[in-house]
A and B are shown apart, each in its own frame.
Chain A
Amino acid sequence: MGEAIVIEDVRKRFNGVEALAGVSHVVHEGEIHVLLGPNGSGKSTLMRICAGVLVPDSGRVLVFSKEPYRDFDVKFRIGYAPQEGLLYEDLTGLENMYFYAGLQGVSRGEARRIYEEIKDELELGEWFEKRKVKTYSGGMERRASIAVALASDPELLILDEPTSGLDPDGRRKLWDFLLRLKRKGKTLLIATHLFEDAEVLSDEVVIMHKGRIVAKGSVDKLLSQAGYGYSIDVEVARKSEELKVTLEKIAGIKPVEIGYIYRFYANEPRLVEELRDAIERIGQKALRLELRRISLADVYFLKTGVMLE
């Protein structure tokens, strides 16, 4: 499989603030790679460089072996849906689609064919054809934005936070749609701060923090590299130093405090029983004691020290 995107030591600063601090990565054709991180982690900047909107200060990005910010022809093979949508509010979704198709050298007839192909899958109803974008709900706008990115039937789709603003049902339908695109051979680079998106969609997850890639690999690989198999949440009604010290002694590690929750990472599920006994021994009661398999959120925390929920 060829390389769709090659990112080589890319750096970018905005007004003295380092947005990307030497990022390298490769996305192979036909794969979905998910950039995972909170706002400000550098995902959107990296995506904009890949889409040819921004030029890196140093390093380079190759999309289908061309630098998209210098070679305009390669942009015709890219569909980019930015986080804010940025569709013309006084045009309908379909007019936006025709407009972007035209810019990328695709005829109106061909754009119409693409629209007919995706309209049911993306649930683009009459509203997409007849209503102006400014009347759309958040979910409609996200779907319209993705449809417009597909207007030229690109080989590479760069989607920035595609599921934000969608209800749970809408998110699932969009996941299915994106996976179908992958099956059709398209390459997708997706930025998200939602772990579920990454778990469902990604062939490879790229965890970003403060402009750097702190970990990457398949979900399974990242989970196995975490060093722990489980996370245990102990929610208490009242925090005390005595309780904390007791739990720490039992678990052998310091817990992570999230409000009234003490979170422990462990490899043995039986630790949960030991913690329950210890709490009872000191005369306290756990409101909730939950054992979970370790997730991407935990991996993100373990890699960055930042808790994203």
Chain B
Amino acid sequence: MRARAFKEIVLKELKLTLRKPAYMFWNIVFPIILLTLLVVLFAPKPSAPATAESIKVVVLPEERTPELVNYTRVMAKYLREKPGIDVGLSVSTFNGTLEDALSCLKNGTYDAVILVPKDAEKAMNKNLTINATIYLLTGTPKPFKEQLTRALLVNFYNITGLFIAASTINWSASALVPYLEHAQLPEEALETLRWLKAGVNALGRNVDVKIVEVRPKMLKKASEIRPYVIGWMTISVVFIEFMFLGVLGVAISISTEFEKRYAVRLLSAGVTPEEIYAGKIVAALALYSIPSVVLLLWGTFVLGAKFTHGLFSIETAEILVLMLTGTLLTMFMGILLGLLFRSTEAVSIAANALIWPTMMLGGFWIPKFMLPAEIRIFAEVNPLSVLMYAVVEVSCYDRTLEPYLPAIATCLCLTLALAVISTILFKRRFSKMLER
């Protein structure tokens, strides 16, 4: 591949695209308007107090035995009455199945579901262990509420566990000390007994701690939540752009190339089909980056988006890889569409028919957790949604990619497969075009 020819093709593609008013509107102006509207309409207002959040938790037993139902009810009561962080915590027992409870959780009715396992009471009686499974709603645009729910429940179980253990020691040791005082004990053991008595007297009354409410830093005000929500919205709009620019834009570009047969003349100038193909791909990548950078700058500096990692962190590198995968995936989808249909009109219809449902059902326009359960299944498996939500998790919620790794690997394989198929089809279509 000759560098000069390659460079000329890339520059030509950029020139052809960038001078189109439609490109400037749909890829720069429109997304900026869209992002601004989303922020104005849906981002949390800076004045809104964050502590007004209400957390809804339900507790249910794994089996409906009277003992376990009672145990569950007691646990819910303790949880409800637990003094703690100043939030509107609502706790109730759930009368349905776990499946029903999880369905409600996914719909956003609850923030957490606590399952009391069937052997919970036995474990308590046997070795004072509290068994429970907590199902926590995650991936919402309110990561701080998620953090608070998690902290609240974990804290409850830790404190309760400690309290039960301490109470049991207090009770059993108190009963044992009078017997020991009248027993014939060696001199060395009497000193230990003295300490045991002091400890038992002190147990339960050994806490002299002031309660200082310490909330996670970012929970202080909604104005500190807002920048991360704007970050989430910015990434959504960048992915929406990937769909428009990648699938629709690239598909039309490829289709036009074949319809107009420009390549016939290019070949006579010593350009190879590979150079044309590679030039188009690189130009498309450059064209992708323009609206992405503009949107990120607009979101950050004009609308005030914040991301959890610095520009030169490992997480940012991960995000870039994910976004590049999204770019390539949409681009090869576009190339494939451009090759499969004969006319630009047909390509345009097919691309629109693909991108709109993908965006609407995939959680691009509407957050995934707000989608009906039946539709959310699509958002859970759609490769582009997976990539987008993985980027959001890392860049806005400061989470790791770990839960997304299998899905990301699938996306990479899919991208690779589309790349291979597109390249083979491009070569075939190229030969056919020359013979027209």
Contacts and interface: CB of A to CB of B under 8 A. Distances in A.
A90 B270 contact: no
B23 to A, nearest CB: 11
A103 B5 contact: yes
A283 to B, nearest CB: 56
Interface residues on B, range: 20 to 34
A194 interface: no
B269 A75 contact: yes
Interface in B1-39: 4-5, 7-9, 12, 15-16, 19-20
Interface residues of A, number: 29
Contact of A52 (B4, B7, B19, B267): B267
Contacts of A124: none
Contact of A102 (B4, B260, B265, B434): B4
Interface stretch (A24-32, A79-87, A179-187): A79-87
Interface of B is mostly: helix
A298 interface: no
Given A88-B262, A89-B260, A90-B16, A99 B8 contact: yes
Interface string A31-71: 00000000000000000100111100000000000000000
Contacts of B9: 103
Interface string A4-34: 0000000000110000000000000000000
B16 A51 contact: no
Interface string A86-110: 1111110001000110111100000
A48 B264 contact: yes
A91 B12 contact: yes
Given A88-B16, A91-B12, A91-B16, A105 B264 contact: no
A78 interface: yes
Contacts of A274: none
Interface in A234-278: none
Contacts of A52: 267-268, 270
Contacts of A75: 268-270
Contact of A53 (B8, B12, B15, B434): B434
Interface of A is mostly: loop
- Residue of B267, B269, B434 with most partner-chain A CB within 10 A: B269
A230 interface: no
A76 B268 CA distance: 9
B216 to A, nearest CB: 54
A104 B271 CA distance: 9
A177 interface: no
A104 B4 CA distance: 9
Nearest to B20: A90
A78 B268 contact: yes
Contacts of A80: 265, 268-269
B400 to A, nearest CB: 46
B218 interface: no
A99 B12 contact: yes
B272 interface: yes
A242 to B, nearest CB: 50
16 contacts: A48-B264, A51-B267, A51-B268, A52-B270, A53-B264, A53-B267, A78-B268, A86-B264, A90-B16, A100-B269, A102-B7, A103-B8, A103-B9, A103-B266, A104-B269, A158-B268
Interface of B: 4-5, 7-9, 12, 15-16, 19-20, 260-262, 264-272, 434-435
Q: Which 5 A-B pairs have the closest CB atoms?
A: A75-B270, A80-B268, A51-B268, A102-B8, A86-B265
